[in-house]
Amino acid sequence: MTKAPAQAVEGLRDLLTVERLDTDLFRAPATAEKPGRVFGGQVIGQALSAAAATADPERQAHSLHAYFMRAGDVQKPIIYRVLSDFDGGSFSSRRVVAVQDGRPILNLAASFHRAEEGFAHACAMPQVPSPAECPDFRAALEMTGQKMPRLLLEKLAPFDIRVGKPSPQGRDGSQLPTQYLWFKLAHPLGLDASLQRVLLAYASDFALLTTSVLPHPATFFSPQLQGASLDHAMWFHATPDTDDWLLYAMDSPWAGHARGFARGSLYDSSGTLVANTAQEGLIRPLNP
């Protein structure tokens, strides 16, 4: 049964708040009683949360780079080991290993920066209809005959998600590898700057890789396609406000060798560019 928005959002906040066991050791509990894979965004968000807990609170994450190695098991806790590699005058570097059953499932490196002034420029936000004019994401998927896995639907319960505009079509009638999604928390939380970044990292893993499948005769959630994130990179340019609408503009410049590459830009409702993402993932067609 789908949780009420407020309950789902508060559950997400608790999920991304890891328990400190020792100076550089953290734990996140198991999240389900039934078998399933851990959502990649969860491991990224929890790893960033653990890294941030060891950094000066005056320094906020400005980038992260992560590699997925094994699928996480939702029935088991995850241990996060943090290595404090560097603390300089302006920057701090952290490495995090996420471990289950003594084996790493993700490696993440994050850098933190003390706020300072400097040159500034940013690309403008794409022209997209306002969220009020856009259809609900889940309803739009159902209209195309796509069914999302139950576990993924549960992961999306804390968010209100709208399809910014339909993906454009190429000359051959296929969809171009571009998509736009508006999203925000379904219930306001008023998180601090660190948790805002953690939550955005969690959300940024959803839908990004699906962009690389759009031009091809398959849907990402089809049993005829094996899809999984291989890596994930993110750059934070400003503190996001996940209580308000954010636009996720995504495109995929390349796919090949059963892999797809996608990149994204995240804008707030005023048009400010708050983050960029990049990801390569497995998109392996399976024989019917």
Would residue 241 count as lying in a domain? yes
Count helices and strands in the chain by DSSP H and E runs:
5, 13
124 is a domain residue? no
Confirm whether 145 is domain-assigned.
Answer: yes
CA angle 253, 255, 257 (to 5 degrees): 155
Flag whether 269 is in a domain. yes
d(CA 228, CA 196): 25
Could you tell me if residue 134 is inside a domain?
Answer: yes
Q: Which residues are catalytic?
A: 205, 229, 279
Q: How far apart are the first and last CA of the chain?
A: 31
As a whole number of angstroms, the distance between CA 189 and CA 13 comes to 9
pLDDT at 170 over 80: no
Residue 9 pLDDT greater than 60, yes or no? yes
Number of domains in the chain: 1
Nearest Cα residue to 216 out of 170, 147, 280:
170
Range of the domain at 106: 5-115+130-285
Any idea what the CATH number is for the domain that residue 36 is in?
A: 2.40.160.210
pLDDT tens string 105-137: 999 999 999 999 999 999 999 999 999 999 998
pLDDT at 200 over 50: yes
The answer to whether residue 274 sits within a structural domain is yes
- Mean pLDDT value across the chain: 94
3-class secondary-structure state, position 281: strand
Q: Does the residue 147 lie in any domain?
A: yes
Tell whether the model's pLDDT for residue 143 goes beyond 80: no
- Using the predicted structure, report yes or no on whether residue 173 has a pLDDT greater than 80: no
Q: Which long-range contacts (CB under 8 A, 24 or more apart) does 4-11 make?
A: 5/157, 5/158, 5/160, 5/186, 5/187, 6/186, 6/187, 8/157, 8/158, 8/186, 8/187, 9/158, 9/185, 9/186, 9/187, 9/189, 10/187, 10/189, 11/158
What's the rounded mean pLDDT across residues 218-235?
Answer: 92
pLDDT tens-digit series, residues 67-107 = 999 999 999 999 999 999 999 999 999 999 999 999 999 99
Is 123 inside a domain boundary? no
What percent of the chain lies above the pLDDT cut of 70?
96
Q: Please, which pLDDT band fits residue 1 given cuts at 50, 70 and 90?
A: very low
Is 183's pLDDT higher than 50?
yes
User: In this structure, is the dihedral angle defined by the CA atoms of residues 17, 21, 25 and 30, taken in order, positive or negative?
Assistant: negative
Q: Could you tell me the pTM of the whole model?
A: 0.95
pLDDT, one tens digit per residue, over 28-65 is: 999 988 899 999 999 999 999 999 999 999 999 999 99
